[in-house]
């Protein structure tokens, strides 16, 4: 089934459109979810995110604009955003922030609470947030992060360095150095 036909059927609320979407892009959607929610603590949320993704695509099919992106790109963007949101939610649900979450250069006198940490990391771009959290929260190595996200190790290392600098600058601005 072609993308135009899939979208037309979903707009008409014909379940064949959803079936066509799943047949065409279901594997890529699931693969994206697994890349973002790749830790054992997050495994139980994968099916939930998958259902949320298909529901969101189904209910927002009128918003798809083929002049802005392909159907696959549009679906994978929705998928990535929902998966990253779930990852943030899982991190917030954890009872404590690991004690060595930030490098020593970012140490301060008062301990940083979980919500403060997540608010601080929120100044980064969504992809940099994911890289930063995978590195400092889940203790993934740059090579593992690069493999998970399909990036070069050098790109991951550069983004980590830039992220640390942004966080340092933000803490200095707030007077928490």
- Give 3-state DSSP helix, strand, coil % of the chain, rounded to 5: 75, 0, 25
Which CATH number does 3-93 carry?
A: 1.10.1740.10
Phi and psi, residue 129, nearest 5° = -60, -45
Residue 100, CA distances (Å) to 87, 136, 169 in order: 20, 8, 19
Query: Using CA atoms, how far apart are residues 88 and 26, in angstroms rounded to an integer?
Result: 23
Helix (H) or strand (E) holding 149: helix 142-149
Interior angle at CA 158, CA 155 and CA 164, nearest 5? 140
pLDDT tens, residue by residue, 54-83: 999 999 999 999 999 999 999 999 999 999
Domain 104-173 has CATH 1.10.10.10: yes
In the chain, where the domains are located: 3-93, 104-173
pTM, 2 dp: 0.58
pLDDT tens, residue by residue, 27-51: 999 999 998 888 888 888 999 999 9
């Amino acid at each position: 089934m072609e993308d135009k036909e899939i979208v037309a059927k979903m707009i008409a609320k014909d379940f064949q459109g959803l079936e066509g979407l799943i047949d065409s892009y279901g594997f890529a959607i699931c693969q994206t979810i697994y890349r973002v929610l790749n830790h054992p603590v997050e495994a139980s949320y994968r099916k939930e995110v998958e259902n949320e993704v298909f529901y969101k695509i189904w209910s927002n099919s009128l918003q798809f604009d083929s002049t802005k992106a392909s159907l696959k790109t549009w679906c994978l963007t929705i998928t990535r955003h929902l998966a990253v949101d779930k990852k943030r939610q899982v991190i917030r649900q954890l009872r404590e922030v690991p004690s060595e979450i930030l490098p020593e250069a970012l140490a301060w006198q008062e301990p940083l609470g979980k919500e403060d940490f997540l608010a601080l990391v929120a100044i980064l771009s969504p992809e940099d947030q994911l890289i930063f959290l995978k590195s400092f929260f889940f203790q993934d190595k740059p090579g593992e992060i690069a493999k998970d996200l399909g990036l070069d190790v050098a790109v991951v290392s550069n983004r980590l360095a830039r992220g640390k600098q942004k966080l340092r600058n933000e803490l200095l601005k707030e007077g928490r150095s």
